[in-house]
């Protein structure tokens, strides 16, 4: 997307624009695409929204791997609809990034070239069908905790996209939890599958909230600008507090011997997160990073001729 070329009246001075922007943020009002905004705000938002969009699109893969094998037609319908929703989320989010001057194809290239990150959780493989349920419950659950506050993000298009995204995520989470409830009522083998999936996904789901507050370089500025609303550690704690009773209701054990209720605060204390693993996975060395990106690259490259054809056709038939 190129910068508008229309003639504009002489720009008001930068200090006045900055003051107007600051007042908008202070009053908890929305910044809209045509409003002046500091360059850092624009760049920070593009980075965050693109990272979120990439996560939706890469996130289609781990569950998508079970689409062909879903063990009942009802589960196949639920999963196919969910994977479809994720493609839709990616579309809204790339569109929100485009209102800031970014371009979807360029953002996709940056993802494929490894210049953009996405949520590290999607670099873990889905080993059994219970993983589909646990991704719904824990991964979508953690995403909801992260994302619901973004419905009040200071940037209007992002906030509005997040309202719809969150409604659908909450749907997915319930569907995932319901799958697990059903499996827990099934055979011993199914119960073991659920526990095994919880064992594998619990810690990575805690990492979804990002590095601890004292090691999160972009957080302070994002909070000041109203792009983020709560700190990583605060959201992580909220997620743990909500998940423990749900695990109990389900009848699974969370794989953390140090997890216990602190009676003085009413909140759960939990063990040390393996941040070395987090850094390893986020920097491209998780179990499935290469596979995830390779598939995205193949979808782009193998079908480039389709996009070229559609473009050529549109040009021929433009009137």
Residues 242-301 that bind another protein (CB under 8 A): 242, 245-246, 248-250, 295, 298-299
Please report, as residue ranges, which positions from 52 to 91 form the binding site for another protein (by CB under 8 A).
Answer: 57, 60-61, 64, 67-78, 80-81, 83-84, 87-88, 90-91
Q: Does 30 bind another protein (CB under 8 A)?
A: no
Number of residues written out for the chain: 319
How would DSSP label each residue in 52-72? HHHHHHHTHHHHHTTTTT-SS
Task: Read off the DSSP letter of residue 255.
Answer: S
38 vs 182, beta carbon nearer another protein: 182
Binding-site residue total for another protein (CB under 8 A)? 74
Between CA 154 and CA 157 the distance in angstroms is 9
Give least dist CB 276 to another protein, A: 29
Please report, as residue ranges, which positions from 183 to 212 form the binding site for another protein (by CB under 8 A).
Answer: 183, 185-187, 189-190
Helices and strands, number each (H, E), in the chain: 14, 2
Task: Read off the DSSP letter of residue 9.
Answer: P
34 vs 316, beta carbon nearer another protein: 316
Which range touches another protein (CB under 8 A), out of 22-30, 201-209, 239-247, 262-270?
239-247
CB atoms within 10 A of CB 272: 7
Q: Does 31 bind another protein (CB under 8 A)?
A: no
Q: Does 182 bind another protein (CB under 8 A)?
A: yes
Between CA 22 and CA 31 the distance in angstroms is 10
> Which residues, at least 6 apart from 186, have a Cβ–Cβ distance to it below 8 Å?
none
Between CA 248 and CA 181 the distance in angstroms is 11
Give least dist CB 160 to another protein, A: 13
21 vs 177, beta carbon nearer another protein: 177
Give least dist CB 268 to another protein, A: 14
Which range touches another protein (CB under 8 A), out of 18-26, 136-144, 207-215, 278-286?
136-144
Between CA 71 and CA 130 the distance in angstroms is 11
Radius of gyration of the chain measured on its C-alpha atoms: 21
């Amino acid at each position: 997307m190129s910068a508008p070329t229309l003639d504009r009246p002489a720009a008001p001075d930068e200090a006045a624009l900055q003051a107007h922007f600051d007042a908008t943020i202070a009053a908890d009002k929305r910044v809209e695409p045509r409003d002046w905004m500091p360059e850092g705000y624009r760049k920070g938002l593009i980075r965050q929204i693109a990272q979120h969009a990439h996560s939706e699109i890469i996130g289609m893969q781990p569950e998508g791997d079970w689409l062909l094998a879903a063990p009942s037609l009802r589960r196949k319908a639920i999963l196919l609809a969910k994977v479809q929703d994720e493609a839709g989320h990616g579309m809204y989010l790339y569109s929100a990034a485009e209102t800031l001057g970014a371009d979807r194809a360029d953002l996709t290239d940056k993802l494929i070239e490894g210049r953009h990150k996405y949520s590290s959780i999607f670099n873990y493989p889905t080993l059994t069908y219970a993983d589909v349920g646990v991704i719904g419950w824990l991964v979508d659950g953690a995403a909801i905790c992260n994302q619901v506050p973004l419905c009040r993000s200071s940037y209007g298009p992002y906030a509005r996209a997040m309202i719809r995204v969150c409604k659908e995520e909450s749907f997915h989470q319930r569907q995932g939890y319901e799958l697990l409830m059903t499996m827990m009522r099934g055979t011993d083998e199914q119960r073991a599958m659920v526990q095994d999936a919880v064992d594998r996904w619990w810690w990575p789901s805690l990492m979804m909230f990002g590095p601890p507050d004292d090691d999160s370089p972009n957080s302070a500025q994002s909070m000041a600008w109203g792009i983020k609303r709560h700190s990583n550690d605060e959201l992580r704690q909220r997620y743990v507090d909500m998940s423990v009773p749900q695990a109990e209701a389900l009848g699974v054990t969370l794989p953390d011997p140090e997890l216990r209720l602190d009676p003085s605060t009413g909140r759960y204390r939990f063990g040390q997160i393996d941040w070395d693993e987090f850094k390893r996975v986020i920097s491209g060395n998780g179990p499935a990073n290469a596979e995830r990106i390779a598939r995205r690259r193949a979808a782009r490259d193998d079908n480039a001729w389709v996009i070229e054809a559609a473009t050529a056709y549109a040009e021929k038939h433009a009137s």
